[in-house]
Structure 1
């Protein structure tokens, strides 16, 4: 008979899958896993750069943060630098990118992947194509003005996508990135609970969803990193997780 901890892990994983299924409810989109992206890479794909991680061999996991930057993001960047971990940041334009341009610039300069989480966090599946385009393109331009580079990844708010979202994302050169582990950190300030929820859901090729705008999240990150490293995980950005495959514009990726 499995122990309580095993049962807890199974339950947490099941809840995460159920939550994602509900998120995608009403959407018949096909999704691509990181492993499939790697396997589908062309045979003549460029080899990984010197020192690059081969996630086909290593036990990789991607740490991602949504809806920032915020007041605690600089402290989070300090932690990531200390731990030698690169993350992927899905940024909001209004009141975030515009308010914290120096933090956005620092993300890019320190090797993190800077990505798009829309302008104002409206549910894209409830919008028409023109409104979707405005939500994404305004953030594209704001980030490009700061970093000199337009993002190639986006995360739709609440993970909700549609045919129109896919069409506009493809037009703007943006792949859609979902997740496999979430702490629901919007609902608690308990850093230990946030850490526990992520550790229970962590798995190879996983994509962790956290928010650097909530009070309990940034303090939870050091413990998450330390424990997952102890378990043998290598932290990578989302593009590194897919390499040598690439994130194709419009396509939806989730573990």
Structure 2
């Protein structure tokens, strides 16, 4: 009887260990689990999981996975810069939100919008000609946002979902206008500081130091930023980052 009990205890122990290893492997690799989905977190300026507690989130913690949204303001730039940024994103299986200043969309640059969409990236509204909206009344705010929506729709056939106020300068009135137009305002909680720094290495260092899990990283379509983007994404990947879009994941993004 004692021998049977000893074997029984050992069997439970072995089975328990095997089950633990299987569960751990499943959590670690996330095979068979739905990919994570994110929504904007206005109070934090970043993103947050669309669902509450899940095995997927536990898996991410165990595996050290982190997520960030890449954003680029002030395009389209033209002159090959958009293509350079898109090529770097493709190299890293990454996608981004491009917030366009619609006065920059002209005969020379309108073709860039199709390239953004073909790559699986999102086009956002950054107003028609980049004023400080906090200094404008509601009619002028609406004109800036809606005229940009219309310009993007004229080129792509679709109105953008996301809106970013120039300089991050927003007020209650700005938010109300954006909401009335069916748009979500996207700010940021990580900044490459590429709007003022003078050296690519500074852009890289600010991007790396400020980007944390569930960040929205602000960058601009600038030659210096494009020059250091590959290095930024490489080092973030080495820290466990994957690059996602809010509310959706592109079919081209592999989570593993």
* Aligned 8 A contact 1:66 1:89 in 2: yes
1:119 to 120, 128, 144: 128
CA RMSD after TM alignment:
2.4
Higher relative contact order (CA 8 A, sep 6+): 1
Name the SS for the 1:64 alignment partner: strand
Q: Report the structure number with the largest CA radius of gyration.
A: 2
Cα deviation, 1:59-101, whole Å, max 9, x if unaligned, reads: 1101100011113112111211222110111110002466411
2:59 and 2:114 mapped to 1: Cα distance? Answer: 31
1:98 and 1:170 mapped to 2: Cα distance? Answer: 30
| Residue in structure 2 matched with residue 159 of structure 1 by the alignment | 168
Name the SS for the 1:66 alignment partner: strand
Unaligned ranges ≥5, structure 1: 1-29, 41-52, 242-255
| Residue in structure 1 matched with residue 159 of structure 2 by the alignment | 150
Cα deviation, 1:235-254, whole Å, max 9, x if unaligned, reads: 0123338xxxxxxxxxxxxx
Calculate the TM-score normalised by the size of structure 1: 0.72
Q: 1:216 to 1:200 in 2, by over 3 A?
A: same
2:166 and 2:192 mapped to 1: Cα distance? Answer: 16
| 1:69 maps onto 2:76 in alignment | yes
1:170 to 169, 173, 179: 179
| 1:93 maps onto 2:126 in alignment | no
1:220 and 1:91 mapped to 2: Cα distance? Answer: 21
1:98 and 1:92 mapped to 2: Cα distance? Answer: 14
Q: 1:55 to 1:122 in 2, by over 3 A?
A: farther
Name the SS for the 2:243 alignment partner: strand
1:211 to 194, 201, 220: 220
1:165 and 1:97 mapped to 2: Cα distance? Answer: 26
* Aligned 8 A contact 1:35 1:56 in 2: no
Cα deviation, 1:10-29, whole Å, max 9, x if unaligned, reads: xxxxxxxxxxxxxxxxxxxx
Q: 1:124 to 1:55 in 2, by over 3 A?
A: farther
| Residue in structure 2 matched with residue 31 of structure 1 by the alignment | 43
Calculate the TM-score normalised by the size of structure 2: 0.71
2:153 and 2:58 mapped to 1: Cα distance? Answer: 29
1:138 to 140, 147, 165: 147
1:97 and 1:234 mapped to 2: Cα distance? Answer: 33
Unaligned ranges ≥5, structure 2: 1-41, 250-256
How many matched pairs?
Answer: 200
* Aligned 8 A contact 2:47 2:246 in 1: no
